[in-house]
Amino acid sequence: MFIPRHSVVENQFCQFATTSGTGGVGGVVAYAGSVCYLVSTATNQDAIVNIYSTVAPSDTEERMPFGFLMQKVKMGYHNVHPTGFMMPGDLGSSDVIAQPSYDSSGNINGTKQAPVGVAHLGIWDTVHYTVDTPNTDPMLPGERLYTAGDGYSRVTNGTYLTNVTDVVARVVKGASAPQVYATTQNTTLYPIRIKLLI
145 within 8 A of 155, measured Cβ to Cβ? yes
Whole-angstrom Cα distance, residue 6 to residue 73? 24
pLDDT given for residue 22 in this prediction: 65
pLDDT given for residue 156 in this prediction: 93
Query: Which among 102, 119, 136 is the end of a domain?
Result: 119
Considering the domain architecture, whether residues 112 and 129 belong to the same structural domain is answered as no
pLDDT given for residue 178 in this prediction: 94
Whole-angstrom Cα distance, residue 72 to residue 83? 19
Whole-angstrom Cα distance, residue 74 to residue 18? 12
The contacts of residue 55 (CB under 8 Å, 6+ apart) are none
Query: Which among 77, 103, 119 is the end of a domain?
Result: 119
Q: Closest Cα to residue 53, out of 20, 13, 79?
A: 20
pLDDT given for residue 113 in this prediction: 87
Query: Which among 63, 86, 119 is the end of a domain?
Result: 119
In a domain, 184, yes or no: yes
pLDDT given for residue 55 in this prediction: 59
Helix H segments across the chain?
7-10, 177-184
Report residues of the chain scoring pLDDT below 70: 21-22, 42, 54-62, 84
pLDDT given for residue 106 in this prediction: 77
pLDDT given for residue 1 in this prediction: 75
What are the strands, taking DSSP E only, across the chain? Answer: 14-16, 19-20, 28-30, 35-38, 48-51, 65-69, 73-75, 96-98, 100-102, 108-111, 114-116, 118-119, 123-126, 129-130, 144-147, 155-156, 169-173, 192-196
